[in-house]
Amino acid sequence: FYVAITRAQISLAMSHCEHRKKYGEQIPCHPSPFLKEIPENLIVHGNDPSSEPASEEEGLDFFANLKASLEE
């Protein structure tokens, strides 16, 4: 996750499934808890057509802060 996010240059698309089959049984899938650390204003949900993408400045600030926190 960290590698994908820190290497994204312009935009980053992530997805997850709602459920999958394991041993023939359908089980729910949940997004990584890490996603909760991403500020909501930087997220565009595919199922929400009224959402607007984060500005370039907001994205750059987020990635700079993330990189700084990883270097500590």
Q: Residues of the chain whose pLDDT is less than 50?
A: none
Structural domain contains residue 68: no
User: pLDDT digits over 37-52, tens only?
Assistant: 888 888 777 765 555 6
Structural domain range at position 31: 18-46
Count of domains forming the chain = 1
Structural domain contains residue 34: yes
pTM: 0.42
Closest C-alpha among 6, 1, 4 to residue 63: 6
Sign of CA dihedral 5, 7, 13, 14: negative
Structural domain contains residue 39: yes
Structural domain contains residue 28: yes
Q: How far apart are CA 10 and CA 44, in angstroms?
A: 14
Q: How does 15-30 read in b/e, with b if 16+ C-beta sit within 10 Å?
A: eeeeeeeeeeeeeeee
For residue 23, what are its two tokens? 């041993």
Structural domain contains residue 70: no
State the residue for tokens 């996750």.
Answer: 1
Structural domain contains residue 55: no
